[in-house]
Amino acid sequence: MTVSIDELTLADWRRRVAALYAEVRRLIRASPDEALQLWRQERDRLYREHPQSPVPEAQRATFQALHFPPDPALRFEADVIPDGSAPGGGGEGAAATSATPARLPASAPAGLPASTGGMVATRRIGWVEIPFPEGSRRLAVHWMEGYAGGLFLPFRDATNGTQTYGGGRYLLDGAKGADLGGDPERGTLLLDFNFAFQPSCAFDPRWSCPLAPVENRLDVAVRAGERLA
């Protein structure tokens, strides 16, 4: 007899996602295109077949994720600027650039809004500056205080509500092992927007997802990663 226990299937989902990202990290520096292809294929398989898929069960058998074409110009290794410790931060706001010197806002216990209401406990640990073709923009990097912990980097951009989920997408979600790597000695993170993905609530509103804060609302269109249309 097969017994389905949600906690066991959730644990299996996390193991599989973590294993996928471990293989992506092994490949990404030498073969980023191969890493991206693997990521897309395996995520599609998990979304179609796994009982913890965020896709409603009736839609799983035919599910096929949509993606923007790969863009090598949206792959970065970014320095993490510790929160509240470095001059030259663009302050809060999507259009902040290195041309607007100011002290970074001090870190404080905080949270992010959830798609179903309320707040998710997080702590902002620093900022990354992304040299987009339209100019540099800063994004806040958070640490999940509750749940399973881990790095968390959500963002919104000008594609939200048309080509992508209105609440934004994720670059990193360490609680589920979604982490492309980096160099802790140099204080860097690998940030490849081709791996940007929709939160679970984009597929089914019964899921509760933390959403991007105001400072991670970009005023540019990031046409890379997963899309909905």
Q: What is the pTM of this model?
A: 0.87
Give the single-character DSSP code of 69: P
pLDDT at residue 1 greater than cutoff 60: no
23 phi and psi, to 5 degrees? -70, -40
What confidence tier does 108 reach under pLDDT thresholds 50, 70, 90?
A: very low
Distance CA(226)–CA(66), nearest Å, equals 6
For residue 191, which of 152, 149, 228, 133 has the smallest C-alpha distance? 152
Distance CA(177)–CA(15), nearest Å, equals 8
Per-residue pLDDT tens digits for 179-208? 999 999 999 999 999 999 999 999 999 999
Distance CA(185)–CA(4), nearest Å, equals 43
Distance CA(218)–CA(164), nearest Å, equals 14
DSSP assignment of 31-44 equals: -HHHHHHHHHHHHH
pLDDT, position 83: 85
Give the single-character DSSP code of 55: S
Q: Which helix (H) or strand (E) holds 108?
A: none
Per-residue pLDDT tens digits for 30-71? 999 999 999 999 999 999 999 999 999 999 999 999 999 999
137 phi and psi, to 5 degrees? -130, 150
Average pLDDT on 81-104 reads: 47
